[in-house]
Amino acid sequence: MAEILFYVLSAIALASAAGVVLAKSPMMSVLSLLGSFFCLAVIYLLAGFQFLAAAQILVYAGAILVLFLFVIMLLNLGDMGAVAERSNALLEGTAAKLGAVLALGIGIVGLVAASRAAFRPVEVEPGKGLDDLNALALQLFGRYSLPFEAASILLLSTMVAVIALAKRQRKTDRGGGKA
């Protein structure tokens, strides 16, 4: 039962990922991405990673994608008006064509790599929750405390960077009136 659910969700995830790329409207892309993330969250759950499934939904769906939506709405890109892409043809230009070839290549390389991996059967019993919060916390604050601190610095610097980017822009707006 769970296996069938996995394959179905995988198909939906891939399909909605393709939707992100192919959708004409950025709004549609965001919604497709949301669908893809939800499917992945369920797959995490099926694989036994309950905490990560929750984090996936909270952080990605709840925070990041909302941020994307905000920006799209802010810039008024939803209706493909003045700022729409000049051409709807996706494979326009040599770079895009080569890019498609490259993406295909990467997919093939990934498939070959996956098929070549000689994995032993998974020993974890199905349905068992793997990422026990307690154990995860012990790992994070024990073995991975240094990367954890580094991550906090990253977050702080991101915050400062975003504020600086936004603020500087406002200054030139006021002073130069160029934008």
Site for another protein in 116-145 (CB under 8 A): 116-117, 119, 121-127, 130-132, 135-136, 139-140, 144
Q: How far apart are CA 86 and CA 105, in angstroms?
A: 28
Task: Return the number of the residue (79 or 106) whose C-beta is nearest another protein.
Answer: 106
| Cα angle 175, 177, 179; round to 5 | 125
Q: Which two tokens stand for residue 154?
A: 């990253």
Residues with Cβ within 8 Å of residue 38, at least 6 apart in sequence: 57, 61
The residue within the footprint of another protein, chosen from 81, 113, 171, 177 (CB under 8 A), is: 113
Closest CA to 2 of 51, 45, 32, 31: 45
The residue within the footprint of another protein, chosen from 8, 73, 79, 99 (CB under 8 A), is: 99
* Binding residues for another protein restricted to 26-65, rule: CB under 8 A: 26, 29-30, 33, 36-37, 40, 43-44, 46-49, 51-52, 55-56, 59-60, 63-64
Applying CB under 8 A, does 21 fall inside the site for another protein?
A: yes
**Per-residue x/- track, 146-175, another protein (CB under 8 A):** -x---x--xx--xx-xx--xx-xx---x--
Applying CB under 8 A, does 107 fall inside the site for another protein?
A: yes
Applying CB under 8 A, does 78 fall inside the site for another protein?
A: no
Applying CB under 8 A, does 8 fall inside the site for another protein?
A: no
Min dist CB 128 to another protein, Å, is 8
Encode 33-50: b = buried (16+ Cβ within 10 Å), e = exposed.
bbbbbbbbbbbbbbbbbe
- Alpha helices by DSSP H, listed for the chain, are 2-22, 26-47, 50-55, 65-74, 94-116, 133-141, 145-175
**How many residues contact another protein, by CB under 8 A?**
97
Min dist CB 69 to another protein, Å, is 10
Q: How far apart are CA 14 and CA 51, in angstroms?
A: 23
Min dist CB 175 to another protein, Å, is 13
